[in-house]
Structure 1
Amino acid sequence: MADKQHLYLVDGSAYIFRAYHRLPPLTNPEGTPVGAVYGYTTMLWKLAEDLDKAEGPTHLAVVLDKSSQSFRNEIYDQYKANRPDPPEDLVPQFPLIRDATRAFSLPMIEEPGVEADDMIASYARAAAAKGWDVTIVSSDKDLMQLVGTSEQGGTIDMLDTMKSARIGPAEVEEKFGVAPELVGDVLALMGDSVDNIPGIFGVGPKTATKLIQDHGSLTAALDAAPEMKKSKLKERLLEHRADAELSRILVTLKEDCELPIAIDDMKLGKIPPEPLAAFLTQHGFGSLLRRLEGGNGGPGPKTQLHPAKPQNPDEAHAPQGNSQPLPEMPAIDRSAYACLQSVEQLDQWIEKAFAARLVAVDTETSALDAMQADLVGVSLAIGPNQACYIPLGHFNEGGGGDDMFAEKPQQIARETALAMLKPLLESDAVLKVGQNIKYDLNVLARHGIAVAPIEDTMIVSFALDAGRSQDGIGGGHGMDELAQRHLGHTCLTFKEICGTGKKAIPFGEVPIDRATEYAAEDADVTWRLYTHLKPRLAVEGGTRVYERVDRPLIPVVAGMERHGIKVDRQQLAALSERFARETARLEGEIHEIAGQEFTVGSPKQLGDILFDKMGYKGGKKGKSGQYSTDQSVLEKLDATGAPIATKVLEWRQLAKLKSTYTDALQQAINPKTNRVHTSYSLVGAQTGRLSSTDPNLQNIPIRTEIGREIRQAFVAEEGNVLLAADYSQIELRLAAHMADVAPLREAFAAGEDIHARTAQEMFGSVDRDTRARAKTINFAILYGISRWGLAGRLGIEADEAQDLIDIYFARFPGIQRYIVNTMETVRECGYSQTLFGRKTWFPRINSKNQAERQGSERAAVNAPIQGTSADIIKRAMARMGPALAEAGLKPDAPDGVRMLLQVHDELVFEMPEGLVEQARPVIQSVMADAAGPAIELTVPLGVEIGTGRNWDDAH
């Protein structure tokens, strides 16, 4: 018996929805949907295991919502009115989830007309009043009002199982800026769009917190409003006081509900196995049943979950995404990981890895920049819980830093360990799996290790689930998110290990035992994710794009990052100085036009100047209460002859170019190589396009004089030149093929000016004006533009724009058929596909929200075309090295032809000037033929090539 009673209250309703969105649609042997049931059961089981290992509860209950109505609906009939109905396949799972709770023999509380939060509040207060400690298992912000200590000494805290984090008074204050008892006052001012609590329009979290901090309570803040200086905030506080007071009632938790089960009756004992075993058997949860019986992988019933069958017969043959059950593996046990601190231990592990033929690999480093970071350690995994960490660059654990005299923990000499690992990591007989393995390739390449062959769980996830994050089913492709989504596991975070802010320490100073838990877990999780995700590729049709497009690109992009590109620091510095002078001049001119000084870079101040002081029409305020001053707003004002808008647009462009490029590029120069090494993301855009960061080289303006000047700063080494190879109008060419538009196919085959041909088809004549309009229409149609969008681009009325769209479709009916067919397909199955089978998911395509639906429709029209374009250039990149090598052009040598950059439809190379004529036809051929033999296009792919001493001259 514990000295003090400790009640755990589990917010079961939150568990249900998290379980539903974490797992794919699954059915039990009888065909009943059980995806959420399985997830809920595993989450409840994990909670029980975690609590058993820690200082567990003496009493526990699960609290559920019985119905959607409560006293709040009587007070305010719009309360939760915006909440959508539960998904159709979740509704039949509610009673099964109640059965699961009963199967654990846990008290379950659900009362009609009472929300779960109110029942939790009532039990928490009652237990704390008895001097008990209470932990609420939830991360719900409304429940944070309860955190604190009662007069009788009972404490109430929260446990966020998603983050494995305790939430006490300090954490609540850190989140809201006020003590728990004032959280309701902040919530009342903010409102809540999910629950449809009005709050005060225009008052966000920061403003709400400051008001309560300054005045001490909601009532005091509202009472002080009449004496405040004239402002929008004052007006809102005065005008919407009643809304705030109503909201305060709505967010207040009811703490005196009748308690249907006595607290003392919630005593937690050993869970009887019989009812739980019967439940698990009934629903085919074989892996959980074996865990119950004490086995982690021995013989016994297998999990009998199946992908849910589509309800619509027309969808019977549609690929079912994310439809595989969780792998049957033991729970992650960090205590099982090994720390290898001797040559003998490492030698044994390398032998095991060779025997396993598949090893997950991860590196720990001193920084995020793979080109400059020091290698601190390497982790390996060959099976679930069979993982190790090899510390290589740790310093003393007492905080001695990297002082050369500091005592270091026992570890193998870095050179020795890497020499031992090299045969394993380079062996063709052992598959190396990583999560974003491109980073590890670059780190290890700097130590002379060429890791191969490889697989990447991040890229596999992207090939399967790109775009699914919009509806909460998918999410990002980072390891922590994948582990939570697919394995139901919360990984240790870097912040947990190294701390934050001024107290943060480098990974090399983390105690070895703690570093082992963190690093080996990464490898263990990566191994598990691979065994779960890789089989899905074949089932869900993702193998072709992963094997033929994405996976071959990983080492290619890694090599491009290592090569980097030279930039002229002096030229960049001169541009920065010039931009600074010009922005200062423009700022003065803007102030003169406005008649006062203000911060030009502040959207709020600029909006007030434009629409309140200067009286320009068309100002619109967003949810924040401030005017929008984005690019489109300023361009409209510029078109109406507003000189201040013209100046602000110029100022913004220069300020952005200065901060994003001319300043940032100087800072990004690697001191060892004197080159800039951008980092490419293979999962940055859901259509499959590469994106780049640190620095971003994708958005340098191409057609402006200033953009060209920045490109002139990208230069070749002495004696070399840059070669730029650019696909010409590739998206229009692909549209002509995919939509089977004969006139466009003929024009491309004949080498005609496609925009002139479109102008002739639409307007009957070709001149500068009609060609420019045709060019705009060509690209706009492919992006699913509306009549209003086209009208804005052409500066015409919406009706006239619609007439042009109608003419375009009449001349090119294949385009209209393509758009209609694409929309229908995406609405039916939820995703679009490129010619190479890359899926892009659009979960909002059938949304009742018009803006969401139309946005998805526009993106869905273009995704197959833009995605196919991205696939083709990726295929060209992957083939380029072997083709250059075959031609004797040494793609990996300083005196050879090296591919440096990919920017949208363009590849940039560096080579000795004498190799240009030999390299040009090789590059041209690889790019032009990149679609084949997998896809035979009915239009040629045009490639334009230029060379020069700098990037601009190469165009």
Structure 2
Amino acid sequence: MTPPPDTAVLIDGHALAFRSYFALPPLTSKSGEPTHAILGFMRQITRLMRQKSNQVIVVFDPPVKTFRHEQYEDYKAGRAEIPADLPAQINRIRAIVDAIGLPRLEVGGYEADDVIGTLAKKAEAHGMNAVIVTSDRDSYQLLTERVKVLTSDFKLFGPKDVLEKYGVSVEQWVDYRSLTGDASDNIPGAKGIGPKTAAKLLQEHGSLDEVIARAQDGSLEPKGTREKILSSLENVYKSRDLSCMVTDLPLEIEMATHVGAGDPAALDALLSELDLGSVRKDLGALRGPSGVAAEPEPEPESLAREVPNGEWRTPVAGVMWGYVLSREDDLTAELLGAATADGEITRTAPLEFEPVEEEAPEATSPPEEALFEEAASGKKTKSKAKVKPKPEPLGHVDESQFVGQREVNAAGAKALATHLQVRGLKVEPGDDPLLLAYLLDPNNTAMPAVAQRYLHAPWPSDAASRAALSSQLWDLLLPQLDEARLKLYHDIEKPLARVLARMEVRGVKLDSAYLRGLSESMGARIQTLEAEIHQHAGRVFSVSSRDQLEAVLYDELQLSTGRKTKLTGKRSTAVAALEPLIDEHPIIPALLEYRELSKLRGTYLDPLPNLVNPRTERLHTTFAQTIAATGRLSSLNPNLQNIPIRSAVGREIRKGFIADQGFTLLSADYSQIELRLLAHMSGDLLMQEAFNTGADIHRRTASQVLGVDENNVSADQRRAAKTVNFGVLYGMSAHRLSRDMNIPYADASGFIERYFETYPGIRGYIDRTLADGREKGYVETLYGRRRYVPELLSGNRNVREAGERLAYNMPIQGTAADIIKIAMIELDPLLMDLGARMLLQVHDELLVEAPIDKADEIAELIRSTMMNAAKLSVPLNVEVGRGPDWFDTK
């Protein structure tokens, strides 16, 4: 007989449904009913039900207002509106929970928190543990050694964690919340008292009552804190009343019991109607062959096959999978390890092996192939002696395992391939389940979340087990790709990984002496600016201190205050807030220059020379394929894609990127690719005509919108047209145009209105894209790359409008990303045949290192290949520049 449960799992139903709604991409049944919140909710419920010691109880907020709303009319007024398609899914969840036979509680006039608080106390009184599944931190006041909160990554959060993270005890939690407030519930707290101050006060004085008493008798220091508390006393007391949970509700529920009988027929009908076959399968696994509840498994459910602790094995016939434990740049930091498996892990003793000798590269081979020969072999002469390796710690890379391999499959295959390439092995990145997951949903950017989402399994800590799990993910995810995204994988992402691996290994040459000299001269200028700022302020202060700067600008110099920061309500000192004040006081231009130079020096000039690899004397970045939701590449460790090009000082940094001896740099840039794609995808004939006739698109736009002859368009008019041409892709408002162009709002509004009248196809494109996005739940590029945009259905206007801007921008920006990827794949072998090297990709630009005597030929090859990477209704235009350094190519 199964023993009674010893743990009450208390589910905040609304919180888990809300979290599940945003955890999965939009899904619907065959009839079109949204189901992603239901599916995510049930996955978590069944996972918790599989533990034999758990009694799962689901609690929902009642549909009516609670006593807290009566106490405080604005309680929870600041919360974002519930997505329009979520309430119906919550009602379905209620019905499924009832049909399963799980206890479901809702108490009129009280929140789910109060019911959960009461149940937690009941569980303790029955000698049970309690685990609370919620996103509300008010539950921290309930925590004891027997009552814990289950975090989103399935870790238990208890009293020690509260003390470590917030600096207060569980007993002080309500007092802490009374001081800090909670914006999500519109609990006011004490204005100006943040988490650190609140924790310090409670650490020093023990309780809120003592803090208030010290404030009232004048002994609380500092004076500013005392005044903040006294001026907010009413809100502090109100916050304490709102934060205290009720824990003594008269609930009739039997504790320490298993799942009830439920209604199997109703459950089957519900799951069939909603097309939730996977939920039926999960629930079926909890019952025996005759429908009787079976012995639950002690561990949470996982779709992953059992993976024992892995050890190294020699690759055998079949598919070999690998995993790199750390993707710190192998050329600048020690790689922590990798391991292989062919789907299943077996234990084998270390084997003797005979190193396979490869022929020495010829002098004409591309330099990167021989670049790390010495590092790979350990010495310049080759040895034929047999080697018996010592057993290595788990996760260590044994390069001999890959000798003879031509590609390696892994989650992050490019990382493992580059690790091996720098050791002289010719191994290419093979199949990669992380790329599959990213194509399924660009929110899938890292393996821990992917493993949890698709296998309901934690990401293992050892490399060999990760390799096995990667193999399982590959088998699971591949069939889920539709034809377009399968083509994206095979034709773009997988071959691109091979191109990027070579680029990472090659690196780019830096003139470190130049960058250090530029840093020194910039440092001198920064010191001069700091002295000027102090002179304008009339006193010395820390320019880098936000609070000191705020006092100088707005209290002492009395400059007009602009926007306030959302979180703190303080007067903003950000660049965007200072720029409108540039003519008010000479301190502002000095501050802006000081900020720019300090950022450039700290972000680029000082770090970059230190990141040059001493073996290669080149800088090696990592190109990430699975970070940007649009499909664009990202550059990491260091990030070379954000080197400024708009400011003259920022462009000076590019002079430090130089060609190797005997080579020159070629910079190839798609000109106005996003506008050309807009013309193609919108079908606007007038814009297409401008590009097809080679017109200056901004001058042509100004002429057509303003009704003036093209030859008479002024520089300001062209600039306004350029601003709108590019700004329309990002939802530019009349307010923004008015501010950027320093023109009256009425003029800016009229310009945008006439713009859409002139180019009706663009308005049509926006409307069609948003309609498709609302219907399908996603938007996509010309090549079928998707981005899910659930914000389009949000009831919150700000959230919805932000989602709309994302929705009609992504197909343009994502298609541009796809096109340059195609060009890179086509160019890579052609360039290598001519002895040239692709070095960097920065948005719409490629940087290539070419032999000087073939530079003209290679420049033309690059131009033609990039221009023909896509066939559109308007031509793609590519500008190629040449120079000894990156700056001079422009």
Q: Give the structure 2 partner of residue 940 of structure 1.
A: 875
- Give the counterpart of 2:285 among 271, 285, 291: 291
Point out where structure 2 has 5 or more consecutive residues left out of the alignment.
272-276, 292-300, 352-388
Cα distance in structure 1, aligned partners of 2:90 and 2:559? 55
SS at match of 2:889: coil
Aligned pair in 2 of structure 1 residues 338, 134: CA closer, same or farther (>3 Å)? closer
> Does the 8 A contact of 1:719 with 1:912 survive in 2?
yes
Shift of residue 166, structure 1, vs aligned partner: 2.6
On the 8 A contact 1:138/1:158 being kept in 2, the answer is no
Distance in 2 (CA, whole Å) between partners of 1:852 and 1:88 is 13
CA distance in 2, matches of 1:882, 1:742: 37
- Matched to 1:947, the amino acid is R
Cα distance in 1 for residues equivalent to 2:541 and 2:192: 22
1:168 correspondence with 2:158: yes
Distance 1:930 1:372 in 2: 34
Distance in structure 1 (CA, Å) of the matches to 2:479 and 2:395: 36
Distance in 1 (alpha carbons) for counterparts of 2:4 and 2:287: 32
- 2:447 aligned with 1:479: yes
Structure number with greater CO (CA < 8 Å, separation at least 6) is: 2
What is the CA–CA distance in structure 2 between the aligned matches of 1:29 and 1:924, rounded to whole Å? 47
In 1, the alpha carbon distance for the partners of 2:524 and 2:194 equals 37
The root-mean-square deviation of aligned C-alpha atoms, in Å, is 3.6
2:859 to 907, 920, 924: 920
Q: CA deviation at 1:99?
A: 5.9
Matching residue of 2:383:
none
Describe the shift of the 1:375–1:791 C-alpha distance in structure 2 as closer, same or farther (beyond 3 A).
closer
Deviation string 1:450-494 (CA, Å, 9 cap, x unpaired) is 44572333333333323xxxxxxxx452111122223333335xx
Task: Provide the residue aligned with 1:694 in structure 2.
Answer: 637
Per mean C-alpha deviation after superposition, the further-off stretch among 852-861 and 433-442 is 852-861
- Report whether the alignment pairs 1:246 with 2:238: yes
**Contact 2:406–2:428 under 8 Å retained in 1:** yes
The aligned counterpart of 2:116 is 120
**Aligned partner (choices 701, 711, 720) of residue 773 of structure 1:** 720
Distance 1:391 1:369 in 2: 31
1:537/1:543 contact within 8 Å kept: yes
Secondary structure of the corresponding residue to residue 725 of structure 1? strand
When residues 486 and 22 of structure 1 are mapped into structure 2, their CA distance, relative to the original with a 3 A threshold, is: farther
Deviations 1:63-113 (A, max 9, x none): 412514332222223323455675565545556645655666555544333
**One-letter code of the match for 1:461?**
A
Please state whether the residue corresponding to 1:657 is helix, strand or coil.
helix
**Which residue pairs with 2:406 in the alignment?**
426
**1:415-440 per-position Cα deviation (integer Å, ceiling 9, x unaligned):** 995434444x426xxxx543232212
Moved more, 191-200 or 95-104: 95-104
For 1:413-812, list aligned pairs within 5 A: 418-423=399-404, 425-426=405-406, 433-452=409-428, 454-466=430-442, 475-492=443-460, 518-538=462-482, 541-622=484-565, 623-638=567-582, 640-761=583-704, 762=706, 763-764=708-709, 765-812=712-759
- The answer on 1:45 being equivalent to 2:41 is no
Q: Residues 441 and 558 of structure 1 are in contact (CA less than 8 Å); yes or no, is this contact kept in structure 2?
A: yes
Moved more, 936-945 or 161-170: 161-170
- Any idea what the Cα deviations from partners look like across 1:680-715, whole Å, max 9, x if unmatched? 222332222222122121122224332232111111
Tell me if structure 2 keeps the 8 A contact 1:61–1:266. Answer: no
Partners of 1:6 and 1:135 within 8 A in 2: no
The 8 Å contact of residues 66 and 110 in structure 1, kept in 2 or not, is answered as yes
Q: Deviations over 1:865-885 (max 9, x none)?
A: 222222211111111113335
CA distance in 1, matches of 2:702, 2:257: 78
**1:138-176 deviations in Å (ceiling 9; x for gaps):** 56422211223xxxxxx4331526333232321110122
CA distance in 2 between partners of 1:390 and 1:693 (Å): 37
Q: Return the match for 2:137 from 125, 141, 157.
A: 141
TM-score (norm 1): 0.79
* CA displacement, residues 878-936 of structure 1 (integer Å, 9 cap, x when unaligned): 11113335xx31xxxxxx200001112211111221121221221111111111xxxx2
TM-score, normalization by structure 2: 0.84
**Mapped partners of 1:87, 1:845: distance in 2:** 9
Q: How far did 1:268 drift? A: 4.3
Shift of 1:637: 0.3
CA contact under 8 A between 1:139 and 1:160: conserved in structure 2? no
How big is the shift at 1:827? 4.3
Amino acid at match of 1:841: Y
Residue 59 (structure 2) aligns with: 64
Shift of 1:658: 0.1
Question: What is the CA-CA distance between 1:392 and the residue it aligns to?
Answer: 9.5
Shift of 1:331: 3.7
1:855 paired to 2:802: yes
Letter of the aligned partner of 2:525 in structure 1? Answer: E
Q: Is structure 2 residue 195 aligned with structure 1 residue 199?
A: no
The letter for the 2-side match of 1:938 is: S
Change (3 A) 1:390 1:864: farther
Find the counterpart in structure 2 of residue 339 from structure 1: 310
Distance 1:629 1:274, change over 3 A: closer
- Aligned partner letter, 1:535: P
Q: Summarize deviations over 1:282-332 as a string: whole Å, max 9, x none.
A: 73445335534679xxxx9xxxxxxxxxxxxxxxxxxxxxxxxxxxx9644
User: Take 1:389 and 1:92, find their aligned partners in 2: how far apart are those partners?
Assistant: 51
1:792-839 Cα shifts (integer Å, max 9, x gaps): 111111101122223433444433433444444444444333222323
Measured against aligned partners, the alpha-carbon deviations of 1:206-260 in whole angstroms (never above 9, x if no partner) come to: 3332332233222333344463678765554233221111111111111222231
Instruction: Select the residue among 209, 212, 216 that pairs with 1:219.
Output: 209
CA contact (8 A) 2:16 2:133 kept: no
Where 1:687 maps in the other structure, the secondary structure is coil
Cα 1:128–1:757, aligned 2, differ >3 Å: closer, same or farther? closer
What are the residue-to-residue correspondences of 1:267-416 with 2, within 5 Å?
267-268=256-257, 279=267, 283=271, 284=277, 285-288=279-282, 291-292=285-286, 331-332=303-304, 336-337=307-308, 339-340=310-311, 346-347=313-314, 350-351=315-316, 354-355=317-318, 357=319, 359-365=320-326, 368-374=328-334, 377-380=337-340, 382-383=342-343, 386-387=344-345, 410-411=391-392
Q: More displaced, 166-175 or 541-550?
A: 541-550
Q: In the aligned structure 2, how far is the partner of 1:414 from the partner of 1:132?
A: 40
Determine helix, strand or coil for the equivalent of 1:209: helix
Equivalent residue letter for 1:482: V
Q: Using a 3 Å threshold, how does the CA distance of structure 1 residues 37 and 641 change in structure 2: closer, same or farther? A: closer
Q: Which moved more, 1:600-609 or 1:568-577?
A: 600-609
Q: Is 1:77 aligned to 2:24, yes or no?
A: no
Do 2:49 and 2:56's aligned partners in 1 also have CA atoms closer than 8 Å?
A: no
Most deviating of 785-794 and 610-619: 610-619
Deviations 1:732-780 (A, max 9, x none): 3323333344454444334343333334433431344443333333323
The residue type equivalent to 2:730 in the other structure is Y
SS of the residue 1:575 aligns to? helix
* Higher mean C-alpha deviation, range 369-378 or range 688-697: 369-378
Partner of 1:323: none
Distance of 2:133 and 2:799 partners within structure 1? 33
Contact in 2 for aligned 1:63/1:119 (Cα 8 Å):
no
Whole-angstrom CA distance in 2 between matches of 1:676 and 1:722: 15
